[in-house]
Chain A
Amino acid sequence: MIKIKDISKSFGDKMVLENISSEFDKGKTNLIIGSSGTGKSVLLKCIVGLISPDNGRVYYDLRNFTEADKEEKSEIRREIGMLFQGGALFDSKNVEENVMFPLDVLTKMPLDEKLDRANLCLKRVGLENVNKKAVSEISGGMKKRVGIARAIVNSPNYLFCDEPNSGLDPQTSILIDELIHEITHELDITTVVVTHDMNSVIGIGEKIIFLYKGHKLWEGNNADITHSGVAQLDDFVFANKVMSKMRSL
C-alpha cells in the first residue's frame, strides 16, 4: 500500500499540485487521471522520488519515503518497477539485456538464472524470439511490453506506469492495460497508472483519483465514475463522443 499525504509542488510561481492526499491499495490497479497539464505525471514523479515535493509525505507500506535518507530511498526503490511513457529502454542494449538489466545491477544471480527470469518475463508480456533485437528495431507497443517486462523482472512490490498507452493504437492500448491489470493481480502488487485514456479508466480503474488544476476533485472506482456529480469530471469523462452517446442513451 502506498499513502500520500498533503503533497504540494510548485514550479516558480505556478502551483502544480496542492495538498493531494490518497491511498493506493495493494493488489489493485490504481489510476491517476485528469486532462493534460493537471499535474498527474508530476504527482507520479513525486511519489517515486524523481521530483521532491515542496510539502507532504509519501509512505510505502508505512515507510516514510520522503524523509528517508539516500540509502533508505535506494532500498525502497529497489522494490519499485516503473514503465515510462516512452519506454525509457537503454538504446545501447538489446531487448534481453534491457530486461535483465535490473538483475545485472541489483542482484548477484548467475547468468543462467537471469536469462531464465528475463525470458519468463518476456513470455509473460507476450514477446518471444525478440531477445536479440535492438530497441530501435521494435515497435512502440513492443517497447511498452519490454518496459513492463523490465519493470517486473525483479519482482517489485510497487509498479508505476506513466501513460502506458500513449501513442498506441486502441487495440494495443487495451492489451497493454489488460497486461498491467493481470500482472497486478498475479503478483499482488500496488500498481499506480497515470492516464487520460477513458478506455483504461473504464477497463482497469479499480481505484481512481481525478486531478483538476492541481487539486484532487474526486476519488472512486470505474463503476462510480459516470455518476460522480462532479462537473469537471463529467466534462473529462464525457469528452469522448462514444461516452457522450452512451450518456445520452
Chain B
Amino acid sequence: MKGFGRYMMFLGSLFVRRETFATYYKLILEECVQIGVNSALLFILVSTFIGAVTTVQTAFNMVSPLIPRFVIAQVVREMVVLELAPTIMALIYAGKIGSSMASGLGTMRITEQIDALEVMGINSSSYLVLPKIVASILMYPLLVVLSGVCAIIGGYIVGTFIHIITPTEYVSGLRFGFNSFEIVVALTKSVVFSFLISSISSFKGYFTKGGALEVGIASTAAVTTSVIAILLADYIIVNLLLQ
C-alpha cells in the first residue's frame, strides 16, 4: 500500500509546476518517435507471425466437417481484436518500452541528471515523465491498430498460401457477426495499458537508488509490475465492458 501511495503521489507531482506547452510539445514529439516509430517494425513482425500461427492452429483444431471454414477467420478476428493486439502486444510493449523508460530514468537518477534538473528549478518528474506518458497514450493505440491489421493479414497470407481457407472464406469470416463495439473495447484496453506501462515503468526508474545493478533491478521490476497491472486491468475492463 505504501508503494501504491507513493505511485499516486508521483502521478500527482506530474501536474504541478509544469513547463511551457512548447517545451512539452517538442518532448512529446521526440518520445512519439522513440516509442511509436521505433517500435513499429517489432509490432509488425510479431503480430504478422502470431496472426499466421493462430490461423494454422485454429484450422488444425477444427476437425469437424460440420463447421464451415470461414469460422477460422472469425476466430482469428476475435482473438486478434480482443486479446492479441491490445493485450499480448502490451506485454511486448512493456518489455521493450517499459524497460527502456525505467532504465533511462534510473540511469539519469544515479548519474545525478535528475538532481541537475531539480537544482535548475525544473519539476523533473513532470519534465521527464509526463511527455513519456502522453506519447505512450497517443502511440500505443496506433500500434494496436497496426498490430491487428498485420495479424489479420498474416493469417490471410498463410491461410490462403497453404490452402487452409480460400480468400473469399477468409474475408467473409472476418465480416461474419462482426460487432464494432469490440474495437472500442480494444482501444479502451490500449489506452489503459499504455498509461499503466508508461507510468509504472517511469515510477520504478525515477526512484532508482544505488548504481548500475539497481538500474537493472528497476528495469526488471518495471516490466514485472507492468505485466501484473496489465493482466489485472484486462480482467477488469473485460468484466466492465463485455458482460
Contacts and interface: CB of A to CB of B under 8 A. Distances in A.
Interface of A: 48-50, 70-71, 73-78, 80, 82, 84-86, 88-91, 101-102, 104-106, 154, 160
Contact of A88 (B23, B115, B121, B123): B115
B116 A88 contact: yes
Interface of B: 16-17, 19, 23, 107-108, 111-113, 115-116, 118-123, 127
A122 B122 CA distance: 23
Contacts of A90: 108, 113, 116
Given A50-B119, A82-B116, A74 B23 contact: no
Contact of A84 (B107, B115, B122): B115
Given A74-B121, A90-B108, A90-B116, 4 more contacts: A77-B119, A78-B121, A86-B111, A105-B127
Contacts of A75: 121
Contacts of A78: 120-121
A28 to B, nearest CB: 21
B120 A106 contact: yes
Contacts of A82: 116, 119
Nearest to A76: B121
A77 B118 contact: yes
Contacts of A84: 112, 115-116
Contact of B17 (A48, A49, A71, A85): A71
Nearest to B114: A88
B17 A88 contact: no
Contacts of B19: 105
24 contacts: A48-B119, A49-B118, A49-B119, A50-B115, A50-B118, A50-B119, A70-B16, A73-B121, A74-B121, A77-B120, A77-B121, A78-B121, A80-B121, A82-B119, A85-B112, A88-B115, A89-B113, A90-B113, A90-B116, A91-B111, A101-B120, A102-B120, A105-B23, A105-B122
